[in-house]
Structure 1
Amino acid sequence: MLPSRTGSVKIKVVMVMADAFPGNKYDITVKELFADSEEELVGFFASLSAEVVRHLNIEFPRVEIKRSDLILECRTEFGPAAVHLEFQSTNDSDIPFRMLRYATELQQKYRLPVYQILIYFGEREMTMADGLEYSFGPQNHLDYRYRAVDLGSIALEEIKNSGNTCLYALLPLTDRKKRKQKKEEFLRECVETIVHAPLNIEEKRQSLLRAEIFAGLVFDKPVIEQIFREVEKMLNIEESAGYRRIFEKGMEKGMEKGRQETLRESVLKLLHKKFKKIPRPYVDKIKSLDEYALGLILENIFEINTLSDLEEYL
């Protein structure tokens, strides 16, 4: 369960958003799914009443993929702060190190205290730590903590009763035990909650579309098809502006993937010529790189003379 939401403070925020679900089969970002309801998303998970002012960018080292999901510069009654929401679909034992890295880089760049929330929405229970600590000698200590939320441990009713209908799309990811036991019945309850919500037709269409995308992370395709098809036909969901926006985004992603595949083939071809034989683990890693990282390898191909040099880009 989430901690009590009493004592929330009014803030203004400046936001950064990047891909929230790197590597998942939908290739859809939180920015696209919640483009019109970021404030509700922040309010529920961070217990902060927020006003979005504008989007910003944050710089990372050139060979590192930008993985942070939602970064906010906030003004609160306690003073300014940076709020960072990180979305995770799988358990990652290295997440505390990544969160600490973000915290220190944010504080270094903005000179603000950093408030972080890890939001996990995977199929299995969350096993990730919520911080790091050690003590070595009399003067070397680390005691670092962030808030970790397992969406699957939150009851469906908690989101239903929150009053944030914009978050109903997340319902299929809640109540892990209940959704595993009841499956079709649980997903049908999620869909019916959206259908009967105090929303107009366009809002229901968008919420159902988002819910279907999230459902794909934890439900089998036949179950999703069975539950969603009838209601989508009834609401004519394909006429939704949100559907068209995400469909168009998917087309753009498809074009990007085409460029990425061409880059990947060029990188592998050049490296094979240079090294004659590349160990399989290196090939697998190169195949997982994004367009930016592949471009860096091509740009610096003449400086990459050993496999150790190559490792700096992987």
Structure 2
Amino acid sequence: MVSRWDRSMKRLFALAAQDLITFVLPQARFLQHASGEFVLKSDPSLPGLGLLAADTLSACSLEGETLLIHLEFQSRADNKMAHRLLMYNILADERYGSPVLSCVIYLRRCGVVATPYRRQLPNATPVYDFYFQVIKLWELPAQELLARQLPGLLPLLPLSREGRSRQVIRTMIERLQQARQFELLEVGLLLASLAWADAPASERQWLQEQIQMLTEFLQELKQTDAARALIEEGLRQGIEQGRQEGRQEGLQQGRQEGLQQGRQEGLQQGRQEGLQQGRQEGLHKARQRLLTTVSARFPHLYGLAAQVTAHLNDLDSLLLLLEQVYSAPTTEHLRALLLAQLPDSAGPPPTDNGSQP
């Protein structure tokens, strides 16, 4: 059975293959995914054989030559890991005819295998040495991951040396929101929930609150994206209809006049259909979500937030402000952001003693 750890890391690799390849071998360039499944004939004396499946196997280039990079993600000790890596390495080399770099990434503290994997005769005569990479994420400073400036490594922050820190989680959330890498954020939150499973109850409660707020935000974002798509589709349909009507009328009154009128009618109809069904709904939901979030995190700023959102009619501005509310570290920080959005015509801002009515 595939564990939540495995699913999370495979999802991360699917979203950010190049970033993880760079993490393992900085000079390598990801080309494409390669099949890491190998079906071997069953042998009663070899019950471990049959279907062998590597976690990830990728064709890459290095200095103009092709190589394969094989990654295994481990969340617990496995004393046969080195031998499995060797088997995958040989099978991949045989199938693709290229050298293979094997690397095991340990996701949480456990027993690890040593590299190289050495086989020798009873008299100490060496048979072979198999070299592979070992990465222990719990020993890696969070700052080292941040210094790489690769979005695909940010979801690994909860697994780093300082991964149990609230500030590290806030940094991960803020960086991924700023980069608008929301799918990576979902992976990072899942890895955080796994890494914090045995944290103190108060810390788990805090993390759960962050995950709940962000999950609601991501759901709202997906709905808003759907509304945007509806707006764009309405405009496209309106423009196309306008062109058709313009051509028809152009046969009677002249091509230029007909096209101009058709475009105007088409744009008007497209806006009426698309904007009415999408834009207003998106604005309403964004305002509602923003005020709900302010009420939960900074209730004393609810009145100011309500005044600001009443004057914001741009969906992108509302969504950006919503992201800032989620990541604001203090009340003073958010107050400054809200005041910067308040137009002069809005009048004096309310005092901070008003919460949600």
Give me the TM-score of the superposition, normalised by structure 2. 0.52
- Counterpart of 1:207, as a letter, is L
Structure 1 residues 98 and 55: alpha-carbon distance in aligned structure 2, compared to 1, 3 A threshold: closer
Q: Which moved more, 1:225-234 or 1:128-137?
A: 225-234
Are 1:71 and 1:85, in contact at CA under 8 Å, matched by a contact in 2? yes
Bigger share in helix: 2
Per the alignment, residue 128 of structure 1 pairs with 113
Decide which of 172, 175, 178 is 1:197's aligned counterpart.
Answer: 175
Are 1:171 and 1:190, in contact at CA under 8 Å, matched by a contact in 2? yes
Are 2:81 and 2:113, in contact at CA under 8 Å, matched by a contact in 1? yes
Bigger share in strand: 1
Decide which of 219, 229, 247 is 2:196's aligned counterpart.
Answer: 219
**5+ residue gaps in structure 1?**
1-21, 242-314
Per the alignment, residue 297 of structure 2 pairs with none
Query: Greater Rg, structure 1 or structure 2?
Result: 2
Deviation at 1:42, TM superposition (A): 1.1
Deviation at 1:200, TM superposition (A): 4.0
Deviation at 1:111, TM superposition (A): 1.9
CA distance in 1, matches of 2:79, 2:195: 21
Decide which of 213, 217, 223 is 1:233's aligned counterpart.
Answer: 213
Deviation at 1:79, TM superposition (A): 2.7
CA distance in 2, matches of 1:67, 1:112: 18
CA distance in 1, matches of 2:156, 2:13: 11
Q: What is the RMSD computed on CA atoms of the aligned residues?
A: 2.9
**5+ residue gaps in structure 2?**
43-49, 223-357
Are 1:74 and 1:80, in contact at CA under 8 Å, matched by a contact in 2? yes
Per the alignment, residue 309 of structure 2 pairs with none
- Counterpart of 1:52, as a letter, is L
Decide which of 2, 5, 9 is 1:30's aligned counterpart.
Answer: 9
Structure 1 residues 126 and 164: alpha-carbon distance in aligned structure 2, compared to 1, 3 A threshold: farther
Residue 209 in structure 1 maps to residue 186 in structure 2: yes
- Counterpart of 1:81, as a letter, is L
Per the alignment, residue 44 of structure 1 pairs with 23
Structure 1 residues 100 and 56: alpha-carbon distance in aligned structure 2, compared to 1, 3 A threshold: closer
Q: Which moved more, 1:56-65 or 1:37-46?
A: 56-65
Deviation at 1:147, TM superposition (A): 0.8
Deviation at 1:138, TM superposition (A): 9.6
Decide which of 70, 76, 81 is 2:62's aligned counterpart.
Answer: 76
Are 1:39 and 1:51, in contact at CA under 8 Å, matched by a contact in 2? yes
What's the secondary structure of 1:40's corresponding residue?
Answer: helix
- Counterpart of 1:219, as a letter, is W
CA distance in 2, matches of 1:97, 1:54: 23
Residues 284-299 of structure 1: pairs in structure 2 closer than 5 A: none
